[in-house]
């Protein structure tokens, strides 16, 4: 068992080991060390428009590897392309007419999602950005219901890159038996959408403590059911791991840029880790398809129950509790300083539940989230019951409270599995090209803590990389900068000056296409990256 102590104050010379934030990295200011449970920029990086923009870019380089998400258009910017593609698809004679699903980029919990067949039915929605995707109709069903999987992933470190997958998760079911979409059922959200926050409002939503029943089930229970039906669940899980690995490889470059801006090199600051929620849909052929990545997955262990008087009360969900307690416990153990924890303890507790063995290694926690505060908050008192004066000491919190049993047990195997670099590091080394471009981008930023390249720094990039040796003039660099700034203006809602990382990557691709000839797009960009790295001496 790992023992957690609340750290009630922040000073440069007294850093806690873990700061737990509710929403994002900037929930608390003036953190000088330790670890924060959110990466800076992660909320924006995993928004749907940005996520699928990066995945589409990676698909252009590695088409056979990045085939695990639906065809995607970013609206309203790509509306003309979307409408043209729909006309082409409708002209083809096929059994089922194409259907598309529209999702707000910043939406969550099923809010604002709808299905359409005609692009003219796209409503736009007060200037909000949307992704529209080809609706996946050939999905795997269980007991006639559509379902998706919530996969938990811990991004432990960006440099060197390391992330772990949780071997347990949740399956969320729709509440109306599934049928192929048609004009009559197109608006049946309880049939076509699997979002828990939406389906819990259905009168057909089923709550059950039985492992293989209910509208929400544990991941391993569903995999067991599928296995007994003859499906190769080991193959399915391997594909899920690969999907996770390739998705994070596509996004890690942007996260590195955001990290250097929030914690510039040479300045005191924390490191980070992050719990992510991958929503995955399974097709009939056992191909997992990525729906979205939630940067703030719910860690709540309660669910709504209707009372006899028609009201609502919140009770502990046994399934959520079993999954999420172990997830949080093993995540904290994973990131805790190695000289401060042990997975097993022979210590005893006093009547107040406090650990009496002072020799037990401890981890200091600063709780910025109310949910965590409710667990660890306590007032320190002296032996007479009065409040202690002077600098406060950390208060003890036994992480065994995150376990469902009060009895001492044998050491339990972690629910987390390292999949990068342990499993897929060598296999996907070639795909880490965006991460290498991030290193070049950061090296060319004129000011530490900056997120965008101005025209002068873009010229400096060309000079540092000696692109003139490839026949690229300063005038060509200036024109390219202006073109890329205009192209990616919609990804810069704050209208800040300069070229962001996505625009920089697109500019590099254009330079590679013009001057670094190779049989494939991947090889062209790789040649440019190697040329730049050699000249910058990264």
What is residue 428's predicted lDDT score, i.e. its pLDDT? 97
Closest CA to 59 of 247, 238, 235: 247
At the topology level, CATH places domain 432-535 in Recoverin; domain 1 (1.10.238)
Residue 262 is inside which H or E element, if any? helix 233-262
- Cβ–Cβ under 8 Å, residues 435 and 253: yes
Rounded to 5 degrees, φ, ψ at 131 are: -110, 140
SS (H, E, C) 166-179: ECCCEEEECCCCCC
Residue 517 DSSP label:
-
**Alpha-carbon distances, residue 329 vs 323, 412, 470 (angstroms):** 10, 11, 53
* Strand 395-398 versus strand 18-20 pairing type: unpaired
Rounded to whole angstroms, the Cα distance separating 202 from 194 reads 12
- Going from N- to C-terminal start, the domains of the chain cover 42-52+69-243+268-335, 432-535
Residue 411 DSSP label:
P
Rounded to whole angstroms, the Cα distance separating 223 from 167 reads 11
Residue 162 burial (CB count, 10 A): 18
Q: Name 115's bridge partners.
A: 101
Rounded to whole angstroms, the Cα distance separating 380 from 277 reads 36
**Alpha-carbon distances, residue 399 vs 38, 327, 451 (angstroms):** 20, 12, 38
What is residue 372's predicted lDDT score, i.e. its pLDDT? 39
User: pTM of the full predicted structure?
Assistant: 0.87
Rounded to whole angstroms, the Cα distance separating 425 from 413 reads 23
Closest CA to 255 of 45, 33, 493: 45
What is residue 464's predicted lDDT score, i.e. its pLDDT? 93
Task: Give pLDDT tens digits along the chain (538 positions).
Answer: 456 666 665 555 566 788 888 888 888 777 778 899 999 999 999 999 899 999 999 999 999 999 999 999 988 888 999 999 888 888 776 667 889 999 887 766 667 889 998 888 888 766 678 889 999 999 999 999 999 999 999 999 999 999 999 999 999 999 999 999 988 998 899 999 998 888 888 889 999 989 999 999 999 999 999 999 999 999 999 999 999 999 999 999 999 999 999 988 777 788 999 999 999 999 999 999 999 999 999 999 988 877 778 788 888 999 999 999 999 999 999 998 877 765 554 444 444 444 444 433 455 565 443 333 333 322 233 334 344 344 443 433 344 445 444 444 556 789 999 999 999 999 999 999 999 999 999 999 877 778 899 999 999 999 999 999 999 999 999 999 999 988 887 766 666 778 999 999 999 999 999 999 999 999 999 999 999 999 988 7
Q: Is 508 helix (H, G, I), strand (E, B) or coil?
A: helix
Rounded to whole angstroms, the Cα distance separating 188 from 179 reads 10
């Amino acid at each position: 068992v790992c023992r957690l102590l609340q750290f009630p104050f922040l000073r440069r010379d007294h850093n806690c080991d873990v700061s737990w934030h509710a929403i994002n990295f900037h929930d608390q200011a003036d953190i000088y060390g330790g670890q924060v449970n959110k990466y800076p920029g992660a909320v924006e990086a995993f928004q749907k428009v940005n996520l699928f923009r990066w995945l589409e870019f990676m698909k252009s380089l590695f088409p056979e590897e990045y085939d695990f998400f639906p065809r995607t258009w970013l609206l309203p910017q790509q509306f003309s392309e979307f409408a043209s593609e729909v006309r082409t698809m409708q002209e083809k004679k096929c059994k089922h007419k194409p259907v598309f699903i529209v999702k707000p980029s910043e939406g969550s919990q099923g809010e604002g999602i709808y299905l359409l067949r005609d692009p003219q039915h796209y409503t736009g929605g007060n200037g909000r950005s949307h992704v529209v995707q080809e609706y996946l109709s050939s999905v795997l069903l269980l007991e006639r219901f559509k379902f998706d999987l919530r996969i938990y992933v811990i991004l432990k470190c960006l440099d060197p890159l390391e992330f772990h997958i949780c071997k347990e998760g949740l399956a969320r079911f729709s509440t109306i038996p599934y049928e192929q979409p048609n004009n009559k059922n197109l608006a049946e959200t309880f049939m076509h959408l699997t979002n828990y926050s939406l389906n819990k409002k259905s009168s057909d939503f089923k709550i059950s403590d039985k492992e293989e029943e209910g509208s929400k089930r544990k991941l391993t229970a569903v995999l067991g059911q599928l296995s007994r039906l003859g499906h190769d669940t080991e193959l399915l899980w391997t594909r899920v791991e690969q999907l996770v690995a390739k998705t994070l490889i596509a996004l890690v470059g942007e996260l590195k840029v955001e990290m250097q801006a929030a914690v510039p090199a040479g300045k005191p600051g924390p490191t980070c880790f992050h719990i992510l929620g991958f929503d995955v849909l399974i097709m009939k052929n056992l191909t997992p398809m990525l729906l979205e990545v939630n940067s703030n997955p719910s860690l709540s262990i309660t669910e709504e129950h209707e009372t006899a008087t028609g009201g609502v009360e919140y009770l502990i969900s046994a399934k959520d509790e079993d999954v999420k307690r172990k997830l949080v416990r093993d995540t904290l153990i994973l990131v805790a300083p190695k000289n401060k924890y042990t997975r097993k303890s022979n210590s005893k507790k006093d009547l107040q539940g406090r650990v009496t063995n002072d020799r037990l290694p401890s981890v200091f926690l600063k709780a910025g989230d109310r949910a965590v505060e409710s667990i660890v908050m306590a007032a320190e008192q002296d032996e007479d019951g009065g409040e202690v004066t002077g600098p406060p000491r950390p208060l003890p919190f036994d992480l065994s409270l995150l376990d469902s049993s009060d009895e001492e047990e044998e050491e339990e195997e972690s629910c987390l599995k390292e999949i990068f670099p342990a499993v897929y590091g060598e296999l996907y080394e070639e795909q880490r090209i965006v991460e290498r471009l991030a290193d070049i981008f950061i090296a060319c930023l004129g000011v530490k803590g900056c997120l965008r390249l101005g025209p002068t720094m873009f010229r400096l990039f060309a000079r540092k990389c000696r692109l003139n040796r490839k026949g690229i003039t300063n005038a060509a660099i200036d024109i390219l900068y202006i073109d890329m700034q205009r192209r990616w203006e919609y990804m810069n809602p704050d209208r800040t000056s300069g070229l962001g990382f996505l625009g920089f990557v697109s500019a590099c691709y254009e330079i590679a296409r013009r001057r670094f000839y190779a049989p494939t797009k991947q090889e062209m960009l790789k040649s440019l990256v190697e040329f730049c790295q050699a000249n910058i001496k990264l």
